[in-house]
Amino acid sequence: MTEPLNDLSRLCIHTITTKNWNLEQAIEGYVQAGVPGVTVWRQWLDGIGAPRAGELLRTSGLDVVSLCRGGFYVADTEAGRSEAVDDNRRAIDEAAAIGAPLVVLVCGAQPGVPLLDARGMIRDGIEASLSHATQCGVKLAIEPLHPMYAADRSAINTIRQANDMAEAIGSPHCGVAVDVYHLWWDPELESEIRRCGEAGRLFAFHVCDWLSPTRDLLNDRGLMGDGCIPIRQIRGWVEATGFHGYNEVEIFSDELWRLDPADFTGKIKTAYLQHV
- The binding site for a copy of itself (CB under 8 A) comprises 111-112, 114-115, 146-148, 150-152, 157-158, 160-161, 184-187, 210, 212-215, 217, 227-228, 230
C-alpha 169: how far from chain center: 20
Q: Are strands 63-71 and 11-14 parallel, antiparallel or unpaired?
A: unpaired
Q: Provide DSSP, 200-265.
A: T-EEEEEE-B--SS---SSSB-B-TTSSS--HHHHHHHHHHTT--S-EEE---BTTGGGS-HHHHH
Question: How far apart are CB 223 and a copy of itself at their closest, in Å?
Answer: 15
**152 or 260, CB closer to a copy of itself?**
152
Question: How far apart are CB 151 and a copy of itself at their closest, in Å?
Answer: 4
**10 or 221, CB closer to a copy of itself?**
221
- Helices (H) and strands (E) counted in the chain, each on its own, are 9, 8
Helix, coil or strand: residue 178: strand
C-alpha 4: how far from chain center: 22
Question: How far apart are CB 158 and a copy of itself at their closest, in Å?
Answer: 6
**18 or 154, CB closer to a copy of itself?**
154
For residues 75 and 266, give the distance between their C-alpha atoms in angstroms, rounded to a whole number: 41
**130 or 234, CB closer to a copy of itself?**
234
Quick one: 171 exposed, middle or buried, by C-beta within 10 A (0-12, 13-18, 19+)?
middle
H-helix or E-strand containing 141? strand 139-142
Question: How far apart are CB 214 and a copy of itself at their closest, in Å?
Answer: 6
Question: How far apart are CB 238 and a copy of itself at their closest, in Å?
Answer: 17
**61 or 111, CB closer to a copy of itself?**
111
Question: How far apart are CB 258 and a copy of itself at their closest, in Å?
Answer: 21
**27 or 229, CB closer to a copy of itself?**
229
